[in-house]
Amino acid sequence: MALADFAESVWGRRPSLSTAADLAAVLGPADPSLTTLLTLADADDLLSVRGVRTPFLRVARAGRTVPAGGFTRGGGVGAGVGDQVDDVALARLFADGHTLVLQGLHRLHPPVIGFAQQLTADLGHPVQANAYVTPCQAQGFSDHYDVHDVFVVQLAGTKRWLIRPPVHRHPPRDRPWTDHRAEVERAAQGEPLLDVVLAPGDVLYLPAGYLHAARALGEVSAHLTLGVHIWTRGHLIEHLVRQLADAEELREPLALGVDVTDPDAVGRELAKLLPVLTARLDQVDAAAVASGLAGAVRTAQRAEPVAPVAQSRLLGRLDDEAWLRLRRHLRARLERDLDRDGEAWVLRTVDGDQPVPAEAVDAVGRLVHGEAVAVADLGADLASRWAAAAVLVAR
């Protein structure tokens, strides 16, 4: 399916299955397989060698999770960490039919980190990544729904998925399925909307709210769930209200003796308020709303990882011949700085704004367009300050 068709008819609307062959036809045979994002050997390495700690791991079977104390222990001599995963306990639990859930792989495993960051940039919505490794013929979780959209990437083995219509469409994040367990259990008795078996390289898309359950078939199965924490119009309204509430006429006190629990009293105040709001809506500053959302973006997603030691060494050897580039996924924009007089410019990023000297505008423009630039073109002082702030990294 072409991207335009997906955006028009699938995104946020209905589940969709893309087989590995479908994706190869769109992306081309030279594109690396999604199955390389996390292999079973990678999972074993994380679970037995890397010292993963809770909450980066959950263990579950048939909808019930194992308390963390059942699969963690101390890290040994010289490691005062009491919640590292216990590989021996995990081996026993896995053999007993439990699913191992590696959480937050967008922070743990380099191939997934890069993929999730690029997917976030492509979708415009923050992405998290969890992997589910399930023994043959086992099921980790019963029917449930997620409060975010998901792309399920089958990594190894096969898994049967049963998809049912939502009991709540587009549920907000504060409405998890456990708050509606009885409704979910009743809906799970109905006929599935989709009954599909995912093979390695297949991708299943599910909008938030759709009920689903999965069972591994004849061998160990692993899939990667890419959770998409969608921005909604509700987020725009939150920041729009903050802007409106700052208007002087909206900061005036309500009538003396008002009872804000009385619907009639509230109704009278709303009757006065609505015309004011209508008038103010014509004056809404989209830039101010976007600026308010920038703070939410900073907490929801991360730019390209910065290597502290390598960055420090870079600072120590900057000279006019050194070449630098913008750190990826900063959402950088070069704009005129309307808060300053004259031909002032600013580089806006999710990590904050950086003033741009007039003599460096051309070079910074090339940086924004993905080029590497020599320190001589930027100026030594600007290059040093931006490298220290991790806005710039080595080419």
Interior CA angle at 57 toward 178 and 181, to 5°?
Answer: 10
Each residue's pLDDT expressed in tens, for the chain with a length of 395 residues: 677 888 989 999 999 999 999 888 887 776 778 999 999 999 999 999 988 888 999 999 988 899 999 999 887 777 678 888 899 999 999 999 999 999 999 999 999 999 999 999 999 999 999 999 999 988 888 899 999 999 999 999 999 999 999 998 899 888 888 888 899 989 889 999 999 999 999 999 999 999 999 999 989 999 999 999 999 998 998 888 888 887 777 888 888 888 999 999 999 988 988 888 888 888 888 888 888 888 888 888 889 999 999 999 999 999 988 999 999 999 999 998 876 666 789 999 988 889 999 999 999 999 999 999 999 999 999 999 999 999 999 99
Number of H helices, E strands in the chain: 13, 19
Cα–Cα distance measured from residue 227 to residue 150, given in angstroms and rounded to the nearest whole number: 4
Q: Spell out the domains of the chain, with CATH numbers in brackets.
A: 3-228 (2.60.120.650), 233-293 (no CATH), 308-394 (no CATH)
CA distance 284 to 262: 31
Q: Please report where in the chains the tokens 């995963």 appear, as a residue.
A: 85
Beta bridge partners, 86, equal none
335 with 348: CB under 8 angstroms? Answer: yes
Q: Are 145 and 183 in contact (CB under 8 A)?
A: no
Helix 308-316 / helix 380-388 crossing angle, nearest 10 deg: 160
CB 394 within 8 A of CB 304: no
